Amino acid sequence: MGIISIILLVIFVIAALLLILLVALQSDGSSGLGGVFGGGSDSTFGGQGSKVLTKITAIVGGSFLVIALLLAVINKGPGADTLLDSVTSDQVQETTEWWNDAAQAPQE
C-alpha cells in the first residue's frame, strides 16, 4: 500500500468521523444533539445556522464519497478483473463404476 493510499485512508477516516459529528449536531426541531452545544437554541452559527450545517454536511458527505471511490480505484489489485480468472481450474475426473466395484470385491 503506497503512501498516497495511506494518506487517503487517514483523510477518509477523518471525513467519516466529521460526517457522523455533523449529522449528530443537526437537530430536528428541539430534540437532538444540536442543542447540547448551543444551549438548546438553533443559534450555533447565528441566524443561518441550519443552512451552514446543511452545506458543510453536504460538502463533507460528497468528499467522503469521492475519497471512497478513489481508495477503491487505488487499492484495486492488478490483474484481478474477474473472479473466474483468479481461480485455477485443475479438475480431476475419475470414472468409477460403483456397481462393478461391488462385484469385483473379494468374497469371503
CB-side neighbour CA atoms (13 Å) of 43: 5
Summarised one tens digit per residue, pLDDT across range 16-32 is 999 999 988 886 654 55
Cell reading at 49: 445556522
**60 falls within a domain:** yes
In the prediction, which pLDDT does 65 show? 96
pTM: 0.55
Mean pLDDT, residues 30-55 taken together: 60
**59 falls within a domain:** yes
Summarised one tens digit per residue, pLDDT across range 68-100 is 999 999 888 765 555 565 555 555 556 666 666
How many Å is the Cα radius of gyration of the chain? 30
**100 falls within a domain:** no
Provide the domain limits for residue 23.
3-86
What's the number of domains the chain is made of?
Answer: 1
**92 falls within a domain:** no
**106 falls within a domain:** no
**102 falls within a domain:** no
**74 falls within a domain:** yes
**17 falls within a domain:** yes
